[in-house]
Amino acid sequence: AQSVTQLDSHVSVSEGTPVLLRCNYSSSYSPSLFWYVQHPNKGLQLLLKYTSAATLVKGINGFEAEFKKSETSFHLTKPSAHMSDAAEYFCVGHNQGGKLIFGQGTELSVKP
Amino acid sequence: KAGVTQTPRYLIKTRGQQVTLSCSPISGHRSVSWYQQTPGQGLQFLFEYFSETQRNKGNFPGRFSGRQFSNSRSEMNVSTLELGDSALYLCASSLQGLAGVTSSYEQYFGPGTRLTVT
């Protein structure tokens, strides 16, 4: 991807409600896209990846993302939020130059 | 299988000094990439090493350098530290690295080194 934009810098949900973290990409070719999660004082952990095999990608911890070429989107969803999901989430693209392009991150808060 | 390890975890340095950070990749991984994470700039790619060769680099000044050893361990050096170099430095390893469009370049990140420059 040439650029990756996360549309929300902060999202707050209640425990048990759905999660939607939005990501748009800009690319002149079919991109590879990833979602990573970063808990405080930890490194990034891969949640899921899209590499053109299937448009709906399932990841760890109940997360999934759908690649929509017509909308240039790769939104991350989860049906029911858990307190442990509170973290920062990064949408990441891979460009042909061999670099990862990170979105600015979305901080997810989960209220009890 | 042990994950990516980074040492030290925390570091405090003074302006003008230099610093060396270390990263040990997952066993069998030949690619190591380095990233700088700051609140203002987010995550930015520094460089990638594959089989002891720098394969790609980001837009950072020459004060930032790195190297990779034959066992794939990597070090990153920053000379003449500036206040703006204060950041979390993350290392990531992968089997095949970031080159190529169809290769599997899933990256595994270490916990990072928190560098504070005073």
Q: What is the mean pLDDT of each run of 10 residues along chain A (112 residues)?
A: 88 98 84 90 88 86 93 96 96 78 94 96
Residues 6+ apart with CB under 8 A from B35: B43, B44, B45, B46, B89, B90, B91, B92
Convert A28-65 to b/e letters by CB count within 10 Å (16 or more is b): eeebbbbbbbbeeeebbbbbbbbbeeeeebebeeebbb
Q: From chain B, pick out residues whose CB is under 8 angstroms from the CB of A10.
A: none
- Residues above pLDDT 90, as percent of chain B: 72
Q: In the predicted model, what is the mean pLDDT of chain B?
A: 91
Q: From chain A, pick out residues whose CB is under 8 angstroms from the CB of B58.
A: 99
Q: What pLDDT sits at residue B105?
A: 67
3-class SS string, A79-109: CCCCHHHCEEEEEEEECCCCCEEECCCEEEE
Estimate to the nearest angstrom the gap between the alpha carbon of A74 and the chain centroid.
7
Which residue in the set B45, B99, B102 is minimally distant from A100, CB to CB? Answer: B45
Q: Which two tokens stand for residue B20?
A: 């060396």
Pairing of strands A10-14, A106-111: parallel
Q: How far apart are CA B28 and CA A28, in angstroms?
A: 33
| pLDDT level of residue B80 (50, 70, 90 thresholds) | very high
Which residue in the set B58, B92, B98 is minimally distant from A94, CB to CB? Answer: B98
Q: What pLDDT sits at residue B26?
A: 94
| pLDDT level of residue B101 (50, 70, 90 thresholds) | very low
Flag whether pLDDT at B98 surpasses 70. no
Chain A nearest C-alpha distance from B109 (Å): 5
Identify the weakest region by mean pLDDT among B42-56, B74-88, B94-108: B94-108
Q: Give the helix ranges, DSSP H, for chain B.
A: none
Flag whether pLDDT at B34 surpasses 60. yes
Read off the pLDDT of residues B35-64 as tens digits, 9 standing for 90 and up.
999 988 889 999 999 989 998 888 999 999
Q: How far apart are CA A71 and CA B24, in angstroms?
A: 40
Flag whether pLDDT at B96 surpasses 80. no
Residues 6+ apart with CB under 8 A from B63: B78, B79, B80
Q: What pLDDT sits at residue B2?
A: 79
Flag whether pLDDT at B104 surpasses 70. no
Best of A47, A100, A101, A107 to substitute, by most chain B Cβ atoms within 10 angstroms, is A100
Chain B nearest C-alpha distance from A53 (Å): 11
* Helices (runs of H) and strands (runs of E) counted in chain A: 0, 12
Q: Taking CA atoms, what residue in B is nearest to A104?
A: B42
Chain A nearest C-alpha distance from B42 (Å): 6
